[in-house]
Structure 1
Amino acid sequence: MARNKEFDEKTVLDKAMRLFWEQGYEKTSMNDLVEHMGIHRRSLYDTFSDKHTLFLKSMDRFDETINGTLSLEIQRYETAADALVFVLRFMVIGDEEMPPGCLLVNTAAELAVRDVEVDAKTLEGFRKTEDLIREIVIKGQRNGEFKASYHPEDLAEYIHSTLIGLRVMARTSVPKEKLEQIMALLIHSVQK
């Protein structure tokens, strides 16, 4: 007879996601995961199969959590510039609850070159972020806030590539003021 799970899958997945986000894939051991997630090793294997599958599900959870938050929050801003500032600050500075940097960016640097599944998930996550930024750019161009001399896809790619660099810098000891200054310059560079 099968036993009922004694834990909420999303809750333990959030814990695994955070640990992978903080430490990376290679540095995170199964013992770390069992301890941090607060479940038995057998439950981890029964639910998630293995570390790699758990990691892929953690990436999906990250994407679901971050993009869900961003999609909801940007609707609150009347101007495209304010929405873009929110996205940049959220993804670079974050809040006290979020580890620095970005799980996708960290993972791309660590694993994408040698893991096809991770590469595909990373690229899909990047595409979603770029799509979100493109929609903000289109709104900004339509409202006369952003330069219309560039195609929305080109501006979205430019903003996103800078955002990726900022997310890497956020993992270092670079002062937040420097990150803020770069974000302000980025916003200024796309505004009319």
Structure 2
Amino acid sequence: MSRSKEFDETEVLDKAMQLFWEQGYEKTSMTDLVKHMGIHRRSLYDTFGDKHTLFLMALDRYDNKISDALSRGVNRSRNAKEALQSVINIMICGEENSPTGCLMVNSAVELAVRDAAVNEKSICAFLKVEQLLKDIILWGQKEGEFTSEYDAEELAEYLHNVGVGLRSMLRTSIPIEKLQRIANMSMRILET
């Protein structure tokens, strides 16, 4: 007779995600995970597999959470400028009580060159954000909020690159005001 799980999988996956986000993949040991997740080692292996599989699941969880947050922000916006500002705010400010930076960006920098699965997940996540930015830019171009001098896809790629840079810089002691200035400059490039 099998025992039922005595923990919520989503809750403990969120805890693993937070730890990987704070420490990175390489610095996070199985002992760290067991302690932080509050489950037994055997339960971790039985439920999530090995460390790498758990990490990939944490990346998927993070991607879904960020995608949901971005969608909510865009859907609440009255115009394209407001939608873009919402995306930028999420990139810079993140969620309350979350580590700084972006788990996907951090993981891509740490592992993508030598881990095909992380590389693939990073690229997919980055392409989703670029598509969202492109849709916002097209909306703004259609409504006359943003310049039509440049191609929306190229602008989206540019803004995503700025976003990756901002999320990387968040891991440093650079003042948030500087990051806001960079974001504001990027917004002005789009203005008509």
What is the TM-score when the length of structure 1 is the normalising length? Answer: 0.98
Alignment of 1:4-153 (within 5 A): 4-153=4-153
How far apart are residue 93 of structure 1 and its match? Answer: 2.0
Question: Over aligned residue pairs, what C-alpha RMSD do you find?
Answer: 0.8
Aligned mates of 2:6, 2:135 — CA distance in 1: 42
Give the unaligned 5+ runs of structure 1. Answer: none
Superposition misfits of 4+ residues, deviation over 4 angstroms? none
Aligned mates of 1:95, 1:59 — CA distance in 2: 16
Deviations 1:44-71 (A, max 9, x none): 0000110000000000000111101111
Q: Match of 1:147, SS? A: coil
More divergent stretch after superposition (92-101 vs 56-65): 92-101
Aligned mates of 1:166, 1:35 — CA distance in 2: 31
How far apart are residue 72 of structure 1 and its match? Answer: 1.7
Aligned mates of 2:34, 2:116 — CA distance in 1: 26
How far apart are residue 9 of structure 1 and its match? Answer: 0.6
Aligned mates of 1:112, 1:100 — CA distance in 2: 20
More divergent stretch after superposition (138-147 vs 92-101): 92-101
Aligned mates of 1:54, 1:177 — CA distance in 2: 35
Q: Match of 2:145, SS? A: coil
Deviations 1:91-129 (A, max 9, x none): 122243221100010001100000001100010110111
Deviations 1:125-184 (A, max 9, x none): 101111111111111111101111111111100000011001100110000000011011
Alignment length (residue pairs): 192
Aligned mates of 1:18, 1:91 — CA distance in 2: 17
Q: 2:178: which partner in 1?
A: 178
Give the unaligned 5+ runs of structure 2. Answer: none
Q: What amino acid does structure 2 have at the position aligned with 1:94?
A: G
- What's the % identity of the aligned pairs? 55
Aligned mates of 1:20, 1:47 — CA distance in 2: 18
What is the TM-score when the length of structure 2 is the normalising length? Answer: 0.98
Q: Match of 2:2, SS? A: coil
Q: 1:159: which partner in 2?
A: 159
Aligned mates of 1:42, 1:122 — CA distance in 2: 29
